[in-house]
Chains A and B, each alone.
Chain A
Amino acid sequence: DAKTTQPPSMDCAEGRAANLPCNHSTISGNEYVYWYRQIHSQGPQYIIHGLKNNETNEMASLIITEDRKSSTLILPHATLRDTAVYYCIVRSTVGSSNTGKLIFGQGTTLQVKP
Chain B
Amino acid sequence: EAQVTQNPRYLITVTGKKLTVTCSQNMNHEYMSWYRQDPGLGLRQIYYSMNVEVTDKGDVPEGYKVSRKEKRNFPLILESPSPNQTSLYFCASSLDPGGQTEAFFGQGTRLTVV
User: Do chains A and B interact in one complex?
Assistant: no
Query: Which residues of A are at the interface with B, using a C-beta cutoff of 8 A?
Result: none
